Amino acid sequence: MTERKKHKEAAKAKGYMPDLESINRKAEDIRGKIKEQAEKTKDQTILKSAELSMAMVDFQKATFDSTLTVIGELQSHTDKIIDNMAAKSGWLPKEGKQLVHEWLKMAQAGRREYQRTVDKSFDLILDFFERMQKEHTVHTAHKAPAHKTNGKAAPKAKKKAAAKKKVALKKRVAA
């Protein structure tokens, strides 16, 4: 036997070197902690992504609303000018004046319909992000932390108290 092996054997006999079983237990504990942290990080990332996405959509919606408001004011002003010009023109027949008036009304209706459609789309995407945020908030809140049990059973008193609470709750609901 080499001198190095002799030192290992002596250290193992004195309890200086951990045995393979204790190393495996520590490795399992570390794996469990890493997995738990990865799940927390994943949920936090999803929540942050949803939050940032909602802020971005809110900004886009505000920008769209402002732009469409300005376009609507411009359209109203232009409509008045065109309507007045059509009304004052002597060369345009009555049917032509009605045609211009109807055309202006259709353009306004088209703008309003476009605004409703885009607003509905913004609402749908915001609802999606809110649902995603709620699901992951609930998902993170309901995750039970991993407790070390070391192979011991939970005290019976706690189990009995929980069972009594369930029975009492069922009685209240039934009444």
Residues with Cβ within 8 Å of residue 117, at least 6 apart in sequence:
none
Place of tokens 């649902």: 131
Altogether, the residues listed in the chain come to a count of 175
Residue 105 confidence (pLDDT): 95
The answer to whether 91 and 70 have CB atoms below 8 angstroms apart is: no
Place of tokens 């232009």: 78
Helix extents (H) in 3-143 = 3-14, 20-88, 94-142
pLDDT tens, residue by residue, 141-175: 655 454 444 444 444 444 555 555 555 555 554 54
- Burial status of residue 50 (CB atoms within 10 A of its CB: 0-12, 13-18, 19 or more): buried
Residue 23 confidence (pLDDT): 81
pTM of the model: 0.57
Cα torsion 8, 11, 15, 16: sign: negative
Phi, psi values for residue 93, rounded to 5°: -70, 165
Residue 163 confidence (pLDDT): 54
The answer to whether 119 and 57 have CB atoms below 8 angstroms apart is: no
Question: What does the domain layout of the chain look like in residue ranges?
Answer: 17-144
pLDDT tens, residue by residue, 7-40: 667 766 666 666 677 788 889 999 999 999 998 8
Which of 122, 121, 111, 117 shows the shortest CA–CA distance to 68? 111
pLDDT tens, residue by residue, 94-112: 999 999 999 999 999 999 9
* Residue 4 three-state SS: helix
